[in-house]
Amino acid sequence: MFRPDNLHPAAIAAREPKRPALTLGDTTWTYGDLETAANRLAHGLRRAGVKPGDGIAVLLGNQLEIFAAFWAAMRSGCYYTPISTHLQGEEIAWILQSARPKLLLTSQDFLDRLTPIADSLPAISLRVDTAPSPAPWQALEAFTAGQPDTFPEDASEGAALLFSSGTTGRPKGVINARPGAVPGTIGELARRRMALHEIDEKVTYLSTAPLYHSAPLRYTEMVLRKGGHCVIMERFDATKALELIERHRVTHSQWVPTMFVRLLRLPEALRQGHDLASHRYAVHAAAPCPPEVKRAMLAWWGPIIHEYYSATEANGQTVIGPEEWLAHPGSVGRPLLGEVRIRDEAGRDLPAGETGLVYLGGGARFEYLDDAEKTAAAYAADGLSTLGDIGYLDADGYLYLTDRRDFTIISGGVNIYPREVEDILLAHPRVADAAVFGLPDPEFGERVHAVVEPVAAAAHDPGLAGELRDFCRQRLAHLKCPRDFEFRAHLPRLPTGKLAKGSLRLEVMAALAASHGESGGGTFQPASLQ
C-alpha cells in the first residue's frame, strides 16, 4: 500500500496510534486522531462523488481541521488548495473559479465574505462549526458521520495546488506535482530538506505562520511524514513563541524576518527568561532578512539559524547554514539540488559578480494553471526556470538577491503585486493615475506606498487618503493596501504610456532620506532592537 520508506502519517498511525502528531493550544491530536479524521473525510469525499484528480479548497484560520482536509486529499488523489484568510470576497471567488474545487471547507468567521459570492461556491460547502445555516452549507461533522475510519483501499497521493499572483496581479495557480502516486511518494527536494535539517520522529516543530502559506504547510507535511510532533500557533505572538519552545522542548521552527524583529524588540529580561536549549534548527525564508537582524538573532540563539530561498513553484532551492552565512553575509546560499545560474535578458550566462535574472534547476517541473504562455516564459531551452528575481553569484557560487523584477513587494513574508493595487485605485472615481511600489520598512522588510494623481476636483481634499484606504480595504486583503499615500499633480509617464515607476520610486526614497536624515536604503537600525 505504501512506498517501502513509509513517508506518510497513516504509516506512523499504524505503528504508534497514540504518538502525538499535532498540538494547538490545549488540544493535541495523536497520529490515530489525525488518521481517523482524515480517513472519514476521505470516505465522505468518495461518497459525494469527489474523484482522484478533483480538488478541495480550505479557507480557515490555523486550526486542526486543516490537517484533516490536507491529509484526506493526500490519500484521495486530490488537489489541495488553501486560501488566504486575508482575501476578500472577489479575490476568493477568483481562486474558486480558477481551481474549480469540488469542496470548500471554511468556518463561521468567513461567511460574511462568502455569502456575496454564493454562485462561486462548490456544491459541497462545509463548515467546521455545527451551527445551523442555509444551503449550501453543511457541517463537517455531519458530512463525515458514519464514514469508515480505515485507510482507503485504493488510496493515492494528492498534490497541492497553491496560488501565487501572475503578471496581471490576479492570483495564478501553481502546479508542481500531479496526484495519483503511491502513498508516501515525495519529491527529491523534500527528501534533501529532511536530511539537511535532520527531520525525523524525534522532531518537535513550532509552526509560527498561517497554514495557507506554502512554507509552513510544506514543513508540517515533512514533519508528519516522518512521525514528528507539530506545535501550531493560532497566530504569531513573540512572547508566546518563546513560551512554546520552552514548554514543548521544540527542536525545529520556521520564521520570517518580521518575526525576528518582534522577538528582538522584547524586553531583555523576557528574552533571556526562557530555556531554549532544545532548539536546534530555526529556519527562515520568504523575505530579505536585514543582516543586522540576523546577526542579532545569531548572537542570541547561537548557530542554529538556517535560511533558504525558494518559491511556491518549487523549481529549485538554495540553502545556507549559520557558519556559511557569517562567511557570506547577505547570501541566500547555494543550491540544495541542481544548479543556479545568473542570466541576462537574452538568456546568456553572466559571470560571478554580475547581476541578472536568477535561474534555478533541479526542482519540480511546474506550470501555471490555464496559462501556457506564462509557463513557457519562465523556462529556458535547457530546462532551467526563472521567477523574475534579480541577483548575482559570488566567486564561491553563493547567491545574493538584489531586487525583484516587476516591483513585486515582499512585506512580512507575503508577496504583494502592485498592479493589482493600482487597478483598484484606478477604479476610484477621484483617481486619475496611480503608482504603487514598496519602500524599505525595518519591521516588515517593505511597506506598500502609493503615489496618486487625483482628479482636479479632489486635489486638495484632506480626507482623500482615508477614503482611498477604505476603498482598497473593501476590495483587497488589508496587507496589500497602501500604508502611505502621496499626492502629485502628474505622474511620470513615458511617451509610450508606460509609467516610469523606477525613477519615481528612487525620487520618493531620496525625498524620504532628505526629510528624515537617513540613507533611504532601508538599513535596519540596531538601536531599534532595544
User: Count of CB atoms within 10 A of residue 349's CB?
Assistant: 11
Q: How far is CA 184 from CA 179, 200, 222, 239, in A?
A: 12, 15, 11, 36
Which residue, among 344, 304, 346, has the nearest Cα to 323 in the 3D structure? 304
For 103-167, the three-class secondary structure string (H helix, E strand, C coil) is: EEEECHHHHHHHHHHHHHCCCEEEECCCCCCCCCEEEHHHHHCCCCCCCCCCCECCEEEEEEECC
Q: Let me know if the fold of 30-183 is the same as that of 408-529.
A: no
Beta strands in 369-430 (DSSP E): 385-393, 399-404, 409-411, 414-416
Domain ranges for the chain, please list them.
30-183, 408-529
β 317-320/334-337 pair status:
antiparallel
The contacts found for 198-201 with CB under 8 angstroms, 24 or more apart, are 198/280, 198/281, 199/223, 199/226, 199/228, 199/252, 200/226, 200/227, 200/228, 201/12, 201/226, 201/227, 201/228
Q: How far is CA 455 from CA 417, 426, 469, in A?
A: 24, 11, 17
Structure confidence at residue 495 (pLDDT): 44
User: Count of CB atoms within 10 A of residue 394's CB?
Assistant: 13
pLDDT digits (tens, 9 = 90+) for 312-329: 899 999 999 999 999 999
DSSP string, 433-483: EEEEEEEEETTTEEEEEEEEEE-GGGTT-TTHHHHHHHHHHTTS-GGGS-S
Which parts of the chain have pLDDT scores under 70? Answer: 1-5, 131-134, 165-169, 288, 403-406, 494-498, 516-530
Amino acid at 44: G
* Residues 410 and 388: beta-carbon distance below 8 Å: no
Structure confidence at residue 390 (pLDDT): 83
Angstrom distance (rounded) from CA 103 to CA 78? 11
pLDDT digits (tens, 9 = 90+) for 243-263: 999 999 999 999 988 889 889
Structure confidence at residue 406 (pLDDT): 64
Q: Which CATH code for domain 408-529?
A: 3.30.300.30
pTM of the model: 0.82
Structure confidence at residue 506 (pLDDT): 87
Helix (H) or strand (E) holding 27: strand 27-30
Structure confidence at residue 132 (pLDDT): 64
Q: Which CATH code for domain 30-183?
A: 3.40.50.980
Angstrom distance (rounded) from CA 414 to CA 236? 15
Angstrom distance (rounded) from CA 430 to CA 433? 9
Classified as helix, coil or strand, 357 is strand
Structure confidence at residue 4 (pLDDT): 55
Amino acid at 185: T
Which residue, among 343, 334, 338, has the nearest Cα to 394 in the 3D structure? 334
Q: Which three cell numbers, joined as nine digits, stand for 497?
A: 504610456
User: How confident is the prediction for the chain on average, in pLDDT?
Assistant: 90
* Residues 392 and 342: beta-carbon distance below 8 Å: yes
| DSSP, res 333 | B
Please, is 430 exposed, middle or buried when counting C-beta atoms within 10 Å of its C-beta (0-12, 13-18, 19+)?
A: middle
Which residue, among 118, 135, 126, has the nearest Cα to 102 in the 3D structure? 126
